[in-house]
Structure 1
């Protein structure tokens, strides 16, 4: 019995600005800081590889001093809206009703809400009362792939069932107004908000790429490389500048043994469906695979068009491949990284 991904759909928040339109707000925020530092920050934004970003709040609200409670209230309201919209789109693509879903996984790490997003979606869409719920909250950027892995394992054990994975993130809600550290600034330069939903099925007659294999890879002694620290003003980003080189050092162990256990090598992979963590990570991955004749053009395009939306971002890349209607037999390698530090991998076959 196989498990297939039958549909992927994104949903963007209503507020959006090009990076050049953010610069005036940035300069106002930097008032009083050293002029050389100000120039460095502006240049960082301009060279981050992100042309436009979307947000659950307009720029004025992002750069206005508000409490963690006020920002989290906006987060809670908007992720429900975005999650519902993206799930409805994905269901429409798959020609399904909300009651056709047996398993719901919701993914988000950029705010706090109990009950979790899935409970609200079940009520808003009148989903099954016996639907199985799983909220994933602390896996960061890797959680979009993690959610697919959990859904796949559920469906593999349960024939003729369907699952939905909904990832909704708002990194802009975590921006720290009084924090002028490079970590906070780099985070603001590369991240944006967004949502995406994925429908998976263990019905034999449904179309879409098959999940041939999946695996997680855990980096030892790297818990402090990436994540959030809960402070009085909200979720404060943790992002070690050594992340790209750490990923590069581990890449052979992440990729090659995983493919070898499936009887193939990287040469047999037609499509790289990678999470665009940021410009430096994208360049690192491109350097590693460019010599093999592989490209990550769709990964770069997603970063440029939307920024890094944490767990949802790799699903935006996946949607681009789903919309291409690829030839039968094509293989794709899906990969994302997140706190822990960890890498999640999925092997797809169309």
Structure 2
């Protein structure tokens, strides 16, 4: 039974900042030593990011209310409780906004048609979980089944899509709403450790919603979900991880991550190629999670890809940065909206997260009739 991504909607907070501006702010408040300022300058300048969005209003001098940067010029370090309080306030609004927009933008689906809601987030917590909030605020049937995937990181949209595919295959009338939302910026740490500086230079806030069912859209392009596979790079769990500290979530994004991904790429996607007798040459588009510019560079080099094959990932990185689990859906939306050269095009989607885990999916981009 074929299962399709019907449509993808994306939402970002109203506040956005140029990467050069954020670089200078970090140099001003974090880089007391000249060597640290040089490291910050290089990391931000080489990131491939032009701007990022955030729910934090006070990176500008006149921002209000104050959260990180105080009126007297000092840097505040909010507690984990204060950060999660802000997460609850902002995330509830954005989860509902994204869910509403996703349904509204699909004329073939009504709210009462939704049978399952899957929410995804790793940057904060509240209960009842976000699916409850969506059902209540949008007036979905109280019988709507809801599931929440938490603390899985940048690859979490893939388990959500796998769940949706399984629901649709077992229940033909299922219509599954997925909402991925991350507010990474609330966990900014005033640390001179290089791994923390790298994290601060790439992560951002954003949300994306997806509607999945067995119905093939007739008037718009869609993605058919073909097959997924998972791989874990051995002895790499310390290179991409995080834990809950007293002043937010302590995120680790090691400088070794691009090399680890490169070393495990080909074996991680081999099951997909083997099952369908494919090679890298058969893939028209590579929808890669832009965890950082170096990651995209490594994948492109490993498979000898043309720039056009990964341009949606480059564009999302430049325009939004790394929004953890939501990012790959921004990439897929960009790809879905681009003109196709033929009726059906093979897409290999990939994301990387804690573990170090590599999630891959083989999709078919199908043009409308």
Measured against the shorter chain, the TM-score band is over 0.9
The C-alpha deviation readout for 1:109-168, integer Å capped at 9, x for no partner, is 111222221111111111121111110012100001221111111111111211011100
Distance of 2:113 and 2:68 partners within structure 1: 38
Q: What TM-score results when the alignment is normalised by the length of structure 1?
A: 0.94
- Gap runs ≥5 in structure 2: 60-66, 70-75
Q: 2:276 aligns with which of 252, 259, 262?
A: 262
Partner of 1:141: 154
Deviation of 1:274 (Å): 0.8
Distance of 1:345 and 1:44 partners within structure 2: 28
Matches within 5 A, 1:269-288: 269-288=283-302
The C-alpha deviation readout for 1:241-260, integer Å capped at 9, x for no partner, is 22111111111111233122
1:22, 1:59 within 8 Å by CA — same for their partners in 2? Answer: no
Local SS of the residue matching 1:169: strand
2:229, 2:271 within 8 Å by CA — same for their partners in 1? Answer: no
Aligned pair 1:216/2:230, yes or no?
Answer: yes
Q: 1:89 aligns with which of 101, 110, 135?
A: 101
Aligned pair 1:124/2:137, yes or no?
Answer: yes
Local SS of the residue matching 2:297: helix
Partner of 1:244: 258
Matches within 5 A, 1:187-336: 187-203=199-215, 208-290=222-304, 295-324=309-338, 326=340, 327-336=342-351
1:25, 1:59 within 8 Å by CA — same for their partners in 2? Answer: no
1:75, 1:111 within 8 Å by CA — same for their partners in 2? Answer: yes
The C-alpha deviation readout for 1:94-120, integer Å capped at 9, x for no partner, is 212222211111111111222221111
2:241, 2:251 within 8 Å by CA — same for their partners in 1? Answer: yes
Distance of 2:224 and 2:211 partners within structure 1: 12
Partner of 1:184: 196
Deviation of 1:25 (Å): 2.1
Q: 1:169 aligns with which of 179, 182, 186?
A: 182
Distance of 2:36 and 2:344 partners within structure 1: 52
Larger mean Cα displacement after TM superposition, 5-14 or 206-215: 206-215
Distance of 2:114 and 2:326 partners within structure 1: 20
Deviation of 1:204 (Å): 5.5
Distance of 1:275 and 1:291 partners within structure 2: 15
Matches within 5 A, 1:49-128: 49-60=48-59, 61-63=67-69, 64-95=76-107, 96-128=109-141
Q: What TM-score results when the alignment is normalised by the length of structure 2?
A: 0.89
Local SS of the residue matching 2:23: helix
Q: What is the alpha-carbon root mean square deviation over aligned residues?
A: 1.8
Local SS of the residue matching 2:92: helix
Partner of 1:38: 37
The C-alpha deviation readout for 1:237-296, integer Å capped at 9, x for no partner, is 122222111111111111233122122222111111110010111111111123578731
Deviation of 1:233 (Å): 0.8
Partner of 1:10: 10
